[in-house]
Structure 1
Amino acid sequence: MSTETDDRRSLDTRAAIGAALEHPLLGLERRRTALTVVYLLGLVAMFWASYLGTRVPVTDALRNTLTTGLDTLSTVFIALVTPTILLVPLCYAIWNGGPGLSFVLPLVPVGIGDVIAGAYVLDLDVAIGLTVGATAAAVALVAVDVRRAGSLRFWRAGVDEDRLLFVTAAAVVAAVGVGRFVDTAPAYMLEWYAPLGGCWLVTAALVGGYWIVWARSALGAAGGHDPADS
């Protein structure tokens, strides 16, 4: 009886995980979504291993070997952080859609540091993560509709209002956070952040364009024709 119950729980857990991985905000293809989630979990595990390893007491015989291993692990983690914040979200957005996961991706490595510090700091890394996340979410919106429409004329696929509302909310939250950073950051940090300012033009153009398509669709429906054909 216990074995049957455990098997049923295992099947239920797998089904729940599978359903979560197939959520449209996470990605189009379950396998690609799963690979990306595993990558993030591996990144988090790598950080915690290197962090906790330096604080666990060990014997002198193991210290040299452990130190070498942890230094290597920390080096790999640091090497992965920059592309995870700047490149991976945009690549994932194009590769598998998923505006939700695309938005979260650059914030994960940034958030790890805040968890360790035990405090939230709206610093340069957070501002960069929010900026790239908002742009990646908007790009994911387009990537999904390009596949749906089977054409680069993504507006022909129509507007998924749920996804558009999510991306709009994510962009607004990111904009508010970055705005607070800009108001309080010293001049040298603003200079470092400035090259990423162009991302907001992309985000605004895509999100604004979608709302224009949505408004035209609403007006077209009221007028009895489909503006997507124009």
Structure 2
Amino acid sequence: MSTETDDRRSLDTRAAIGTVLEHPLLGLERRRTALTVVYLLGLVAMFWASYLGTRVPVTDALRNTLTTGLDTLSMVFIALVTPTILLVPLCYAIWNGGPGLSFVLPLVPVGIGDVIAGAYVLDLDIAIGLTVGATAAAVALVAVDVRRADSLRFWRAGVDEDRLLFVTAAAVVAAVGVGRFVDTAPAYMLEWYAPLGGCWLVTAALVGGYWIVWARSALGAAGGHDPADS
């Protein structure tokens, strides 16, 4: 009886996880979404291992070996952080859609670092993560509709209002956060952030374009024709 109950719970757990991974805000294909989640969990585990390893008391005989291993682990983590913040979200957005996961991806390494450091302010790293995340979410919106329309004319797929509202909300939250950072940051940090300012043009163009398509669709429906065919 216990074995059957355990098996049933295991199946229910797998089904629940599968349902979550198939959520449209996370990605189009469950396997790709799962791989990305595993990558993030591995990144978090790597960070915690390198952080906690330096605080666990060990004997002198193990110290050299442990120090070398932790240094290597820290170097690997640092090497992965930069692409995870700057490149991985955009690549994932194109590869698997999923505006929600695309938005969160650059914030994970920044967030765990700030939590450990006890820094709860809008610093440069968070501003960069918010900027890239907002752009990646908008790109994911386009990537999904390109597949739905089976054409680069993604507007022919129509507008998924739920996804559009999510991406719009994410972009607004990110813009407010970055705006607060810009208001308080010293000049040298603004110079470091400046190259990423162009991302907002992409985000605004994509999100604004979708709202224009939505408005035309609403007006077209009221007028009795479908503007997506134009």
Q: Normalising TM by the smaller chain, what interval?
A: over 0.9
Q: Name 2:155's counterpart in structure 1.
A: 155
CA deviations on 1:92-116 (whole Å, 9 max, x unpaired) are: 0000000000000000000001221
Cα shift at 1:118: 3.1
Cα shift at 1:4: 1.0
CA deviations on 1:148-190 (whole Å, 9 max, x unpaired) are: 0000000000000000000000000000000000000000000
Q: Which runs of 5+ in 2 are unaligned?
A: none
CA deviations on 1:66-107 (whole Å, 9 max, x unpaired) are: 000000000000000000000000000000000000000000
Q: 3-state DSSP class of the match of 2:28?
A: coil
Q: Name 1:71's counterpart in structure 2.
A: 71
Instruction: Compute the RMSD of aligned alpha carbons.
Output: 0.5
Q: Distance in 1 between matches of 2:153 and 2:30?
A: 25
CA deviations on 1:30-84 (whole Å, 9 max, x unpaired) are: 0000000000000000000000000000111111100000000000000000000
* Runs of 4+ residues over 4 Å off in structure 1: none
Q: 3-state DSSP class of the match of 1:121?
A: coil
CA deviations on 1:187-228 (whole Å, 9 max, x unpaired) are: 000000000000000000000000000000000000000000
- TM-score w.r.t. the length of structure 2 is 0.99
- TM-score w.r.t. the length of structure 1 is 0.99
CA deviations on 1:104-147 (whole Å, 9 max, x unpaired) are: 00000000012212341210000000000000000000000000
Q: Distance in 1 between matches of 2:146 and 2:120?
A: 37
% of aligned pairs identical? Answer: 98
Q: Distance in 2 between matches of 1:163 and 1:137?
A: 10
Q: Distance in 1 between matches of 2:199 and 2:114?
A: 24
Q: Distance in 2 between matches of 1:28 and 1:4?
A: 33
Q: Distance in 2 between matches of 1:60 and 1:13?
A: 44
Q: Distance in 2 between matches of 1:8 and 1:170?
A: 38
